């Protein structure tokens, strides 16, 4: 059943679609397509603009339903035998679980080729979307679409200009800038790990970014899968590198003792005080939502890529997230829609709105709604490696449990080795 609908889509159509020729797609008038995902409100409205284009190109009638309990409901629907044609997964782990149970349809080698040919760091995205099936064979089961960037450092351009600082392009230069700020009598960083019951998660992002900047992508993957232990010396070293920022009283606003107790939503506010409490804040692309009212991006606040070590020669790794489209009830329209997502047009529609980033290198960057999104998109497009947030890929008891609490213990005084040992012990307990 996994391939029976492919015959209806000609090889010529698939090639044209992979090159951005959405207009060459088959006429599927009279068919319907059901899609279920996590998007509500603005994201739902924006996604429906994408669906409008697909309907125009193919004649398919698309029905999208969004839910804030998507993760629970899609499991119920697939196991009950009443899934939508396509499900939109915000995390790869759940998609992998369903693939292992035989509840997802493999997408085919041509889809993997579309991603490799059109996405920056294309093989990274193929790897992110490939899982073991019920027989243990790894295949591509999901199409990555709509990405988020976490490898960012936020700053005030005015404060940089007043102090004569320049945006660093290497990790070595970033550390040198931090030291220069201290020498000038300032504090380089604002860092806060507080997040209610999720306290500690901002530190996991730091460690993940640092793993990608000190180790190969393959080692990162092994760490996330626990095929190398959490207390491997390479992981311990990444935690200690985070500590060189977060546990350095001279580096952090309020001193190291404030890191574990400062709420992450409050931590960037030090960028905007007069005089500045800090000059740098590492956080994902969503953090402007917690900047002071009236903050104008590009003027009052800006960002740069959290740089890689020049000495490590690991390219430009990017840490982030994204959504993945998988076929949960196969049909000709579902197969066509997945290939439609590989076209530049399918990305450009949402680019012109809000809340969308893409690693698709064939898009016109001028289509982004504003300069901030355009700059974020350029970071994705220039990535040599992309990896999903590691804690989101780990078992919940680790990624949303002992890893979080371990990072709080670490900034509160525990050493990296003992923290890593404890996290590995918790992982061993669930095997």
* Digit-coded pLDDT (tens) for 63-100: 999 999 999 999 999 999 999 999 999 889 899 999 99
Q: Which is more confident, 255 or 18?
A: 255
Same-domain status, 240 and 379: no
- The answer to whether position 1 is within a domain reads no
Confidence of residue 14 (pLDDT cuts 50, 70, 90): very low
Task: Please tell me the predicted confidence (pLDDT) of residue 396.
Answer: 87
Number of structural domains (the chain) is 2
Same-domain status, 298 and 190: yes
Same-domain status, 384 and 402: no
Same-domain status, 337 and 255: no
Same-domain status, 58 and 78: yes
- On the question of pLDDT at 251 being above 90, the answer is yes
Q: Strand 138-140 and strand 130-132: pairing?
A: antiparallel
Q: Which is more confident, 321 or 180?
A: 180
Domain with 70 in it: 6-149+320-388
Same-domain status, 160 and 306: yes
Task: Please tell me the predicted confidence (pLDDT) of residue 26.
Answer: 87
Confidence of residue 24 (pLDDT cuts 50, 70, 90): low
- The answer to whether position 346 is within a domain reads yes
| Stretch 289-301: mean pLDDT | 95
Task: Please tell me the predicted confidence (pLDDT) of residue 354.
Answer: 86
Q: What gap in Å lies between CA 350 and CA 367, rounded to an integer?
A: 9
pLDDT in tens, 351-361: 999 889 999 99
Question: Taken in order 244, 289, 286, 172, is the CA torsion positive or negative?
Answer: negative
pLDDT in tens, 386-396: 999 999 899 98
- On the question of pLDDT at 375 being above 50, the answer is yes
Task: Please tell me the predicted confidence (pLDDT) of residue 21.
Answer: 41
Average pLDDT, whole number, for the chain? 93
Same-domain status, 160 and 286: yes
Same-domain status, 161 and 304: yes
- On the question of pLDDT at 223 being above 90, the answer is yes
Task: Please tell me the predicted confidence (pLDDT) of residue 91.
Answer: 82
| Stretch 209-215: mean pLDDT | 98
- The answer to whether position 274 is within a domain reads yes
- The answer to whether position 310 is within a domain reads yes
- On the question of pLDDT at 140 being above 90, the answer is yes
Same-domain status, 21 and 83: yes
- The answer to whether position 381 is within a domain reads yes
- The answer to whether position 180 is within a domain reads yes
| Stretch 292-312: mean pLDDT | 96
Beta bridge partners of 282: 153
Same-domain status, 48 and 125: yes
- The answer to whether position 42 is within a domain reads yes
Confidence of residue 25 (pLDDT cuts 50, 70, 90): confident
Task: Please tell me the predicted confidence (pLDDT) of residue 334.
Answer: 98
Could you tell me the CATH number of the domain that includes residue 274? 3.40.190.10
Structure tokens given for 364: 């016109």
Same-domain status, 368 and 243: no
Q: How far is CA 331 from CA 4, 7, 79, 148, 292, in A?
A: 9, 11, 18, 29, 48
Q: Which is more confident, 231 or 12?
A: 231
| Stretch 202-227: mean pLDDT | 97
235, 178, 157, 240: which is closest to 394 by C-alpha? Answer: 235
Structure tokens given for 339: 């290939």
C-alpha 45: how far from chain center: 21
pLDDT in tens, 1-12: 333 333 333 333
Structure tokens given for 285: 């692309």
| Stretch 404-415: mean pLDDT | 97
Same-domain status, 407 and 333: no
- The answer to whether position 363 is within a domain reads yes
């Amino acid at each position: 059943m996994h391939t029976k609908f492919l015959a209806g889509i000609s090889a010529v159509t698939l090639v044209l679609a992979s090159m951005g020729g959405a207009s060459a797609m088959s006429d599927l008038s009279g068919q319907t397509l059901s899609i279920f995902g996590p998007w509500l409100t603005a994201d739902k409205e924006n996604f429906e603009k994408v669906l409008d284009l697909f309907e125009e190109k193919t004649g398919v009638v698309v029905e999208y339903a969004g839910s804030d309990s998507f993760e629970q409901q899609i499991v119920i629907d697939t196991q009950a035998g009443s899934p939508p044609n396509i499900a939109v997964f915000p995390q790869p782990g759940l998609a992998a679980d369903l693939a292992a149970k035989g509840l997802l349809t493999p997408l085919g080698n041509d889809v993997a080729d579309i991603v490799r040919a059109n996405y920056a760091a294309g093989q990274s995205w193929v790897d992110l979307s490939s899982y073991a099936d019920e027989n243990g064979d790894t295949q591509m089961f999901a199409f990555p679409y709509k990405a988020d960037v976490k490898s960012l450092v936020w700053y005030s351009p005015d404060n940089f200009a007043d102090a004569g600082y320049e945006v660093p392009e290497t990790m070595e230069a970033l550390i040198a800038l931090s030291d220069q700020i201290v020498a000038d009598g300032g504090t380089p960083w604002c860092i806060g790990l507080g997040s209610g019951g999720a306290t500690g998660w901002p530190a996991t992002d730091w460690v993940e970014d640092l793993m990608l900047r000190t180790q190969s992508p393959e080692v990162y993957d092994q760490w996330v899968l626990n095929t190398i232990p959490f207390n491997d010396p390479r992981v311990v070293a990444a935690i200690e590198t985070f500590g060189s920022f977060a546990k350095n009283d001279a580096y952090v606003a309020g001193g190291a003792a404030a890191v574990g107790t400062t709420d992450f939503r409050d931590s960037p506010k030090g960028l905007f005080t007069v005089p500045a409490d800090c000059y740098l804040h590492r956080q994902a692309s969503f953090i402007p939502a917690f900047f002071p009212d009236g903050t104008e991006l590009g003027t009052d606040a800006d960002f740069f890529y959290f740089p890689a070590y020049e000495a490590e020669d690991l390219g430009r790794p990017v840490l982030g997230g994204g959504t993945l489209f998988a076929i949960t009830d196969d049909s000709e329209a579902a197969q066509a829609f997945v290939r439609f997502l590989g076209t530049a047009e399918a990305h450009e529609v949402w680019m012109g709105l809000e809340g969308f980033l893409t690693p698709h290198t064939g898009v016109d960057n001028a289509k982004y709604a504003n300069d901030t999104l355009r700059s974020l998109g350029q970071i994705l497009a220039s990535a040599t490696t992309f990896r999903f947030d590691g804690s989101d890929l780990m078992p919940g008891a680790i990624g949303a449990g002992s890893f979080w609490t371990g990072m709080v213990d670490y900034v509160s005084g525990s050493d990296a080795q003992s923290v890593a040992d404890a996290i590995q012990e918790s992982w061993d307990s669930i095997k």
